[in-house]
Amino acid sequence: MLTRAVNKEAPYLKPRAAVFGQYLVPYEETMEAAERRGKPYNEHLPPLVPPAARKATGPPGSREDDSRPLPSTAYCEEGEQYVCPDTAHKSPYYEVGLENLKGLLEEAEGCDLAFAQRMQGLGNVGRTIVWDCLDPDYDPTDRKPVMQQFMAKYLERFYTRMQPGNVPDVQELSEEALHKHKTFCKAWVRKHYCTLTPNITGPAEALANEFFPYLQAQMPRQANLTRLDLARILMRHPDFTAEFAICLHYYSTNLEHSRAARNASYKQMSSVSGAKIWSYNRLGDLLGEKIATLHKIFREMDDPLHTAFHPLLVDWHGILGQIPHVHKYFDDDAAQHGGGAASKVGRRSGGAGQVPPWRVARSG
């Protein structure tokens, strides 16, 4: 749950049991009974039956020091668009300061990106091999609002330029609109939703497993750290990242040489195998020398709640995928100056203007 700390002089930094009511969806302000109210952003929902009396702890905006509007009684329902904390019992959810969350996610992302660049240099490979969008068809949580914005703004400006006089090709216009929307969403996801690829995370987890049994006894039992967690610590912590990258490079290269249908020379395989053993010993010695550093890291993870938001362990890519993104309205040159399907239809019909399809009777 994301919220800004209301008390700017002492903003809370760590996750805590819920204190404020929170919106679960992006909202916009509206006037309802001469009061400021919040309703789901860009969603045309049917009015709901006014809910029963609010809980004593109050929904978003019920506190005097909370500048957010109260949820709309016509469009918002508790548990769907917003939640209220339960102070009488243990809160079923937790909240974390927005600035704190933003900082630790950026820190974790920066560490992963630096490790990807280090592996890119060691392997002499392209950026997409180590850092790429894993799911270009990822369906973000704001896909419905984006589609509404697209259809409302793009097509509205497109049709206002048309002149009456001929019958448009409705199918081609609709296909182009959907194609542009799909292309926009894919391009946005490819640019903003990148992370370490399985070429890095798979071998890294396998390599961390080699040292995990020796370090497991040092880990707090309640933290339940996994092999992937240990790999993230070794990839992100400045004391271990360089040595771990070298060891991972030779480990991955040795895996590649041992695959079927690979024709690596005996000399090359022997050289890589020797370098792998050497890097194993170097990394093992480093972990022994820095055992006090590891003890300090493990002590910071004795609370499972804080472990999930520790910059060395946080799954920033997964959290980013859960945050709803609200895009601005589309500004498309084709909507202002023509082009695309509009030009094709206009040329085919002699260059005359067109009218919206709902103003033209369909024949047949």
Give the residue among 15, 17, 37, 35 at the shortest CA–CA distance from 27: 37
Residue 26 has pLDDT above 70, yes or no: yes
Q: What angle do CA 247, 250, 255 make, to 5 degrees?
A: 120
Confidence of residue 51 (pLDDT cuts 50, 70, 90): very low
Higher-pLDDT residue of 346 and 196 is: 196
User: Residue 150 carries which side chain, given as an amino acid letter?
Assistant: F
Higher-pLDDT residue of 133 and 68 is: 133
Among 88-102, 143-157, 240-254, the range scoring the smallest mean pLDDT is 143-157
Confidence of residue 327 (pLDDT cuts 50, 70, 90): low
Backbone angles phi, psi at 3, to 5 degrees: -155, 145
* Burial (0-12, 13-18, 19+ Cβ within 10 Å), 154: buried
- Take residue 155 and report the two structure tokens written for it: 């097509």
Higher-pLDDT residue of 283 and 45 is: 283
**313 and 111 Cβ atoms separated by less than 8 Å:** no
Q: Where are the domains of the chain?
A: 19-92, 97-364
Q: What pLDDT shows up at residue 87?
A: 62
Confidence of residue 52 (pLDDT cuts 50, 70, 90): very low
Residue 353 has pLDDT above 80, yes or no: no
- Name the pTM for this structure: 0.69
Higher-pLDDT residue of 85 and 46 is: 85
Mean pLDDT of the chain: 75
The residues pairing with 32 across neighbouring beta strands, listed in sequence order, are 35
Average pLDDT over residues 63-81: 80
For strands 70-71 and 82-83, give the pairing. Answer: unpaired
Confidence of residue 346 (pLDDT cuts 50, 70, 90): very low
Q: What pLDDT shows up at residue 306?
A: 73
**116 and 200 Cβ atoms separated by less than 8 Å:** yes
Q: What pLDDT shows up at residue 165?
A: 57
**288 and 218 Cβ atoms separated by less than 8 Å:** no
Q: Which residues contact 169 (CB under 8 A, 6 or more apart)?
A: 341, 344, 345, 348
If you search the block for the tokens 């396998």, which residue do you land on?
206
Measure the CA–CA gap between 107 and 150, rounded to whole angstroms: 34
Measure the CA–CA gap between 299 and 291, rounded to whole angstroms: 12
Q: Which helix (H) or strand (E) holds 269?
A: helix 266-289
Q: What pLDDT shows up at residue 4?
A: 36
